[in-house]
Amino acid sequence: MIGTIQEPIGPVESQPEPRAVESGVRRMSASFWLRFMFWWTQYYPRFVLVTRPLFLWFAWRYSKVLRRGTLANARRILGEHSSTRQREALAKSVIRNFYLSVYELGQHVRQTREQLAKQIDGVSNRERYFDVRAQKRGAIVVTAHLGGFELGMLALSEKEKRVHVVYHRDAIPRFDRLRSRLRNLIGVIESPVDDGWSLWIRLRDALLADEVVVLQADRIMPGQRGQRVPFFDGHIEMPPGPVKLALATGAPIIPILSIRTAVGRVKIVIEEAIFVSRADGPVNGAHPAFRHIASALERHVRANPEQWSMVYPVWCEDQIDGPVTN
């Protein structure tokens, strides 16, 4: 996402190709606008909401990366028989909802924990969660870049003493600071995957102590190798962490999604728990648990495709140069 441009040095033949220069300019432009947007999010979030139509127009017109990514994902979600107009409408809705998430971040860091709790429009299948947690085996909560993720963690922290959220530090420090402020307000423990193997040891110990670990399951982290899993009519790479932690600790995997019901408001949906066993051999190279997780996520992406904030090509079949993870 972040790029730099260097002055050409040496003879003409050593200068970068025009396409490479153009790519560098686009990366710098994307970096500038994202930093600009997060500055306004921190100090004047209302401005972010008011200027959303302008941002959408600018992003759609000038960002080939956004257009390519969102259109490729829209084609997979809507199917091969969908029209260009339908795919463009969904792609623009995804970008619009991504921008809305940025605004919500700026609003939420200015609110109290009590005010945030009032923005949760109910929890579906709450009894499922309590039944599983009564076993005192810890819990691995998997979710997706769908709706309002942080409010979902707030709902968890209301009932749990210690909730660890696994994430990757962002290339834009201002965004990281805003996100950390909100998570500190909510009362969850940040667990940056950048810490390496020591992190996974700490997470294992947390689960063995009957604590909760939250991970995104719809995208691999930068530099991470994922598990190829069927999704809609293609395949996506899912992070191996949830299944590996479940095998190491015996903790169940619980898919929980936070679906946006209005600006700044969500409904929490709890899916059936997935119990992982070493006795279940791999199917086509993947443990069956990966397919169960993918199935739960697919249902909600299919029902709320505009809320799935994935602006890069997600499907393996659409990634010309390999997975984009930044």
Neighbours of 97 (CB within 10 A): 18
What is the model's pLDDT at position 221?
73
What is the model's pLDDT at position 32?
57
Q: Domain for residue 62, yes or no?
A: yes
Do residue 28 and residue 139 come from a single domain? no
3, 23 contact by CB (below 8 A): yes
Q: Which of 277, 252, 257 is nearest to 138 (CA)?
A: 252
Do residue 135 and residue 192 come from a single domain? yes
Q: Domain for residue 100, yes or no?
A: yes
Do residue 297 and residue 209 come from a single domain? yes
Q: Domain for residue 4, yes or no?
A: no
In this structure, what token pair is assigned to residue 100?
């809305």
What is the model's pLDDT at position 258?
94
Question: Which structural domain range is residue 76 located in?
Answer: 12-108
Neighbours of 237 (CB within 10 A): 21
Low-confidence stretches of the chain (pLDDT beneath 70): 1-43, 222-223, 283-284, 320-326
Q: Domain for residue 316, yes or no?
A: no
Alpha helices by DSSP H, listed for the chain, are: 18-43, 45-50, 52-62, 64-78, 84-108, 113-117, 126-133, 149-157, 173-186, 197-208, 241-249, 288-303
Q: Domain for residue 255, yes or no?
A: yes
**Residue 207, helix vs strand vs coil:** helix
What is the model's pLDDT at position 169?
86
pLDDT in tens, 273-282: 999 988 777 7
Do residue 137 and residue 252 come from a single domain? yes
